[in-house]
Amino acid sequence: MKKITTIILMIILFSTTINAQNNFNNQWLEVEKLEVDGLPKSALKIVENIYNIADKENNSPQLIKSLFYKSKFALTLEEEAQLKVIKNVKKHISKSTFPTKNVLENILANLYWQYFTQNRYKFYNRTKTGNKVDVSDFRTWDLNTLFKEIHNYFNASLENTEKLQKVEINEFSDILQINKDSKIYRPTLFDFLANNALQFYKSSETTITRPSYKFSINNPIYLSESSTFSKTKITSKDSLSLELNALKVYQKLIGFHKKENNKNALVEIDIQRLNFIYQQAIFKNKESSLQTTLKTSRNLIRNHVSSGLYAFEIAQFQKNKANNKKALLICNEIIKQFPKSLGEKKCSILKKQITQKTLSIIAEKYIPVDKYSRLLINYKNIDNLFFTAYKITQKQQIEFHKIYKFQDKKIHPKIRKNTLLET
């Protein structure tokens, strides 16, 4: 009898858990519907209800999701929403543990960053202060103070790195905005949080006050192959440099995926790193350095499907240099070698761009009587052009311009029968 009672109790608890989860799912579906319908105020009311239940039940996943959506909707509805939302997130950070705390710290850093991007003009006109004007109100801070706070929270969200690297991102698929390919290219919670931080560190904000010893990407070794780059010691007194911290995050991600021998994730983040450094680098011959590294990196894993991503970058570079023949050779090689891969998809798109036929003709707006008129013709992948000229009356011209479809204009009978010249 005791065993039966225990089993019944377990069934009741399991059923209650399922019902509770279904209730959350139903409410989130309603939130999404209201968001699509452009009703953020109504959506926020449901989110507030989810938040209250999750907070009471200490349901971390639902709490994180509701805080995210609260910030998303509230910021568009209330003047004081930014302050309320951020105070709320801070409150939960203070009482949360790993990994909830890490996710919330990452969210808080993003909220600060979002506030800055929406209020740049306020910070541009604000002088640097020795202390925060109001510790509890980030809206009064100067730019350096705000950026330092964003950096501190992103940095904190990546603490306990090894533990974060063991948490699969799929465990958070219900509460975080995760792409369908994340399991392949960003498989862990560490990948997700680190890439969020990179969006800040890769930003091109130059208004922040920089010291005389500011860090700059002035060494070709930063553009070297991933093994060399990951082992390079990067130091600077300019500890708050966005570029410096971007490189350090890239080193952590590359080092992690090399250790795990996850080539798909490694190549994805390595290409992102190379493109970032190429854009920011101030040393000479960075173009040739990038090409050498891409070719070397591809050859090291030439028979692995992910090598197609390096090949695509090389092909795209050749296209930009108007060397379409070489770009097509690379694309065709990847399309044949790695069908249905991401590299193949990218190369197929690039191939279509290269081989696509384009034509534009610009005529002079006003043509003098008895004078030759010129046409400006731009074309690609077209060998021959044929022109036809028609003589029409003013009445026919008015009627002609009332026709909207090009094909109908082309075969219009009153135009066709008045052919003057065809070449």
| CA atoms of 377 and 387, how far apart (whole Å) | 12
Q: Within 13 Å, how many C-alpha atoms sit on residue 52's CB side?
A: 6
Predicted local confidence at residue 16, as pLDDT: 44
Predicted local confidence at residue 98, as pLDDT: 92
DSSP 360: E
Q: Do 138 and 86 form a contact (C-beta atoms < 8 A)?
A: yes
Give the pairing of strands 419-422 and 358-363.
unpaired
The sign of the dihedral angle between the CA atoms of 230, 239, 150, 158 is positive
What is the rounded average pLDDT for all residues in the chain? 85
List the chain residues with pLDDT less than 70: 1-22, 79, 126-134, 206-210, 404, 406-423
DSSP 358: E
| CA atoms of 224 and 293, how far apart (whole Å) | 6
What are the DSSP calls for 161-194, one per residue? HHHHTTSBGGGGTTTS---TTHHHHS-BHHHHHH
Q: What is the pLDDT of residues 220-275, one digit of tens each?
A: 999 999 999 999 999 999 988 999 999 999 999 999 999 999 999 999 999 999 99
| CA atoms of 252 and 230, how far apart (whole Å) | 8
Helices (H), 165-285: 182-185, 189-201, 226-231, 242-259, 263-280
Packed helices 263-280 and 242-259: angle between N→C axes, nearest 10 degrees: 160
The sign of the dihedral angle between the CA atoms of 280, 282, 283, 288 is positive
Q: Within 13 Å, how many C-alpha atoms sit on residue 9's CB side?
A: 6
Predicted local confidence at residue 347, as pLDDT: 97
Give the pairing of strands 375-380 and 358-363.
antiparallel
User: What global pTM score does this model have?
Assistant: 0.81
β-bridge partners, 363: 375
Q: Hey, what amino acid is at 253?
A: L
Q: What is the pLDDT of residues 375-397, one digit of tens each?
A: 899 988 888 888 877 777 888 77
Predicted local confidence at residue 371, as pLDDT: 81
Q: Within 13 Å, how many C-alpha atoms sit on residue 206's CB side?
A: 3
| CA atoms of 347 and 335, how far apart (whole Å) | 7
| CA atoms of 225 and 277, how far apart (whole Å) | 12
Output the furthest CA–CA distance in the chain (Å, rounded).
109
| CA atoms of 306 and 337, how far apart (whole Å) | 11
